[in-house]
Amino acid sequence: MSSSYGKVDEREHAMLEARRKSRKRIAIIAVSLVVLVGIIIGAVFGTMAHKKSTTVETNVNGDPISVSVKAVCDVTLHKEKCFETVGSAPNASSLTPEQLFRYAVKITITEVSKALNTISSSGHNTTMSACVELLDLTIDNLNDTLTSSSKGDVTLPELVHDLRTWLSSAETYQETCLETLAEFNDPESMTFGESQLKNSTEMTSNALAIITWLGKIADSMKLRRRLLTADVAVDFYGGRRLLQSTDLRKEAHIVVAKDGSGKYKTISRALKDVPEKSEKRTIIYVKKGVYFENVKVEKKMWNVVVVGDGESKSIVSGRLNVVDGTPTFKTATFAVFGKGFMARDMAFINTAGPSKHQAVALMVSADHAAFYRCTMNAFQDTLYVHAQRQFYRNCTIIGTVDFIFGNSASVLQNCRILPRRPMKGQKNTITAQGRTDPNQNTGISIHRCNISPLGDLTDVETFLGRPWKNYSTTVIMDSFLHGFVDRKGWLPWTGDSAPATIYYGEYKNSGAGASTKNRVKWKGLRFLSTKEANKFTVKPFVDGERWLPATKVPFRSGL
């Protein structure tokens, strides 16, 4: 008789324990979903409770509007378009708000695809080709939204954050297309673009409003991640291997060197060896030297790491600019679209000069992108934080007009921000944030940074930013502001005021430029409480605790 009789085998015990935890997790999820359904039903019927009328509302086809459709459309910015589109869903009266959200995304993909086909066939000039690329990115983000929302409960907090990010980016890409068409003052192209994108932009905005509403309902009942993580291990790193080495150059898969000592002499050539949509890191070591090239990390190049010998040694240099005929969106010396990108100990510069106006050094339109000990150096529009979620740590950003701009959710932490001398008669503006929709989860957060002049700027007016769009969102927290910052702090885009809908915040800054005594008297300028400031820190604003640990870039999660 075996001496182990009556004992449970360790492997069998582990399997039993795993099944027990799984059953518990399923029970928790089931309870959560039951509660959520109750909340949504309450919200749906709550919208109708105060309207006890015998009149039956109808959609454009004359069909009665269901209670669920009315509930989701009432939270949108373009209600008529919502009733026209979402209200025409097959069996709309029997669909839940979550199902209506998925339908809203699905029909938006169809609408953007129509616009893409029309614009693609309209010509092949520089601006139209930029729009084609941007609408292609829009469809990618909408597809990501549809795929992820179809896999499970869309109201889980981490998934809501993802969905809002991708829909915010989808809106941004369409807006950038219109900006590109407007850049060269061609009224015919502008009118054409606006007519083609009117439906798709409104529908994207409506989908964003619906998921934002669903997320708020879930939050109101404290359906937090803790309900699902009591016994569950969550993979926050998406299959990516932790970057354990302190010197990534020693782990490089590809070496680039101007002197021929590496595999390739250009970064662009090295990127061609990156496998498509890889969940594993591809580390490219760029040896010291100045690389005169315009580099693009394509959208299918996932998890690329570019590491140099230092931000004063490994330099990528370009000079594309608007004055010479390139749209702002295409001027970047280094452009990133592939998710999970990281750069370390690198410099990105645009040498076009101030007279060439918009000339981007670095443009980032990739989700979960991180930059550590890097320099971005140009004049106007140096750093284009275009879309998605981004993090910058111990970086140096140098420029003049609107030199940190875009509509991503970005945190700049422990960075040096150095305004330089602009063209004669120009004012320096550090930020120009491009939020266009109150439901977007975008903005620029400058946290624990140093804002000082590069040289003597005593005769140059320098401002913290100006509101590029109606919902421009920028906060500066726990940072040092040198006395050269204009005492008014912020500059209007036009006229002498700003839209009441902007969100500009200052919190516990120091230095002679931090005094708020003579700041502009705008409704949208706030001097934040600790609770308000916390919303713009790494953890809640860019969901950083879920993806930054894998990069091994140091970060401060809260204030």
Rounded CA separation 205/453 (Å):
39
> Is 496 designated active site?
no
Type of residue at 50: H
From the candidates 144, 345, 402, 437, which is the catalytic residue? 402
Yes or no: say if 545 and 225 are a contact pair by the CB < 8 Å rule. Answer: no
- Give me 28's structure tokens: 């928790």
Q: Work out the number of other CB atoms within 10 angstroms of the CB of residue 398.
A: 20
- Give me 268's structure tokens: 């662009």
- Give me 74's structure tokens: 């009432």
Kindly state the DSSP code that residue 338 receives in the 8-state scheme. S
Buried b / exposed e along 3-35 (16+ C-beta atoms within 10 A): eeeeeeeeeeeeeeeeeeeeeebeebbeebeee
Beta pairing, strands 503-507 & 525-527: parallel
Rounded CA separation 542/389 (Å):
6
- Exposed/middle/buried for residue 249 (C-beta within 10 Å: 0-12, 13-18, 19+): middle
DSSP codes, 113-179:
HHHHHHHHTS--SHHHHHHHHHHHHHHHHHHHHHHHHTSS-TTSHHHHHHHHHHHHHHHHHHHHHHH
137-to-5, 44, 112, 346, 366 alpha-carbon distances in Å: 62, 33, 10, 27, 11
Rounded CA separation 374/387 (Å):
19
Rounded CA separation 143/138 (Å):
9
Beta pairing, strands 503-507 & 462-465: unpaired
Kindly state the DSSP code that residue 79 receives in the 8-state scheme. H
Distance of CA 181 to the CA centre of its chain: 22
Residues whose CB falls within 8 Å of the CB of residue 10, separated by 6 or more in sequence, listed in order? none
- Tracing tokens 């439901």 back to the chain, one arrives at 439
Rounded CA separation 426/511 (Å):
24
Rounded CA separation 178/274 (Å):
32
Type of residue at 302: W
Yes or no: say if 69 and 86 are a contact pair by the CB < 8 Å rule. Answer: yes
- Tracing tokens 């979960």 back to the chain, one arrives at 368
Q: Work out the number of other CB atoms within 10 angstroms of the CB of residue 303.
A: 24
Angle at 66 between CA 51 and CA 147, to 5 degrees: 130
Positions marked active-site = 402
